[in-house]
Amino acid sequence: MTFVRVADTGVRPARLNVALTAALVELHGQGRIPDTLRFHRYPPSVLIGRHQALADAVRLDHCAREGLEIARRVSGGGAVYMTPGILAWDIVADRRRFGATVEIGGAMLCRAIAGGLMQLGVPARCHRRNEIALAGRKLCGAGGYVDGVSALYQGTVLVEVDTAAIDAALAPAVETSSHAARLITLADYLGHAPAMDAVMTALTAGLARARPDIAWRAGALGADELALADALHAAEIGTEDFVAGEDAAEMPPATALRSELHGSAP
């Protein structure tokens, strides 16, 4: 039976989290690590898409004043505000593990995650192939891309967030003056924030129900993965030049399902 390692790396700095994602994709492409589901969280910070113009995406004065770290993702899409109350997940897997294309795979994973959230008493539904809605507002977003033999799928679940902080950190969306107005959190719907462990368990259960042919096994990242993440962080992803965008334009294009996380334009 095929297996997927399930790891929780907790709260880590934004740029290091991005470097960890990049390290997993690189090592998976080399056949050195198994398919992996990584849960992770961020301190208050802002992530921008791989090819976004920094000044157009983020309120730089606010981020500087509040001490918010800004990181540039290795995936595309729009800017997102992150906080420990948002659960992020990456799945790095064989490019055909969840569908013939990244779009098909992303839609399958969104349906599975929506099914897992039902375990928490949340009637979430896939609104688009890469978005999960609750009570008419966005609860989860997802995206991804293909790199060689590997696919990266990413997403977020809004567990408990001060949505006003999103508007304060991100530049206004083109179609609306408020990012927060179209969002909902689990805490908003349930009246309380479920424990992160419970949310991770529910999502994993939803994935396991959708793909019973896969064993979803708890595990941890290895020394090679952590070392490569540190190296990528030091050499590129953690640098001000990379975040500012001087290197981003030179990054190769990828076959992508556009990232539509919670702060991106719909």
Query: For residue 182, is it within any domain?
Result: yes
Q: Taking Cα atoms as reference points, which of 91, 81, 5 lies closest to residue 42?
A: 81
| Cα gap 129→111, rounded to integer Å | 8
3-state helix, strand, coil in the chain (%, to 5): 35, 30, 35
- At residue 261, the pLDDT reads 54
> Do residues 53 and 245 lie in contact, with contact meaning Cβ atoms separated by under 8 Å?
yes
Residue 251: inside a domain: yes
Instruction: Give the pLDDT of the chain (266 residues) as one tens digit per residue.
Output: 799 999 999 999 999 999 999 999 999 999 999 999 999 999 999 999 999 999 999 999 999 999 999 999 988 888 999 999 999 999 999 999 999 888 999 999 999 999 999 999 999 999 877 899 999 999 999 988 999 999 999 999 999 999 889 999 999 864 445 667 789 999 999 999 999 999 999 999 999 999 999 999 999 999 999 999 999 999 999 999 999 986 444 444 344 444 445 554 33
What's the pLDDT score for residue 247? Answer: 47
**Is 212 part of any domain?**
yes
The CATH number of the domain holding residue 236 is 3.30.930.10
Sign of CA dihedral 68, 74, 78, 82: negative
Residue pair 111/104 in contact by the 8 Å Cβ criterion: no
Alpha helices for the chain (secondary structure H): 14-29, 54-57, 60-66, 102-117, 163-169, 186-190, 196-210, 223-232, 240-244
Q: Is there a domain that residue 149 lies in?
A: yes
Domain count, the chain: 1
Q: Which two tokens stand for residue 68?
A: 């918010």
Q: How far is CA 115 from the centre of its chain?
A: 18
Q: Tokens 């039902």 belong to which residue?
A: 118
The answer to whether residue 265 sits within a structural domain is no
| Separation between Cα atoms, residue 87 and residue 140, nearest integer Å | 10
Here the tokens at position 175 are 């179609």
Structural domain boundaries, residue 10: 2-260
Does 240 map to a domain? yes
Structural domain contains residue 183: yes
The whole model's pTM is what? 0.91
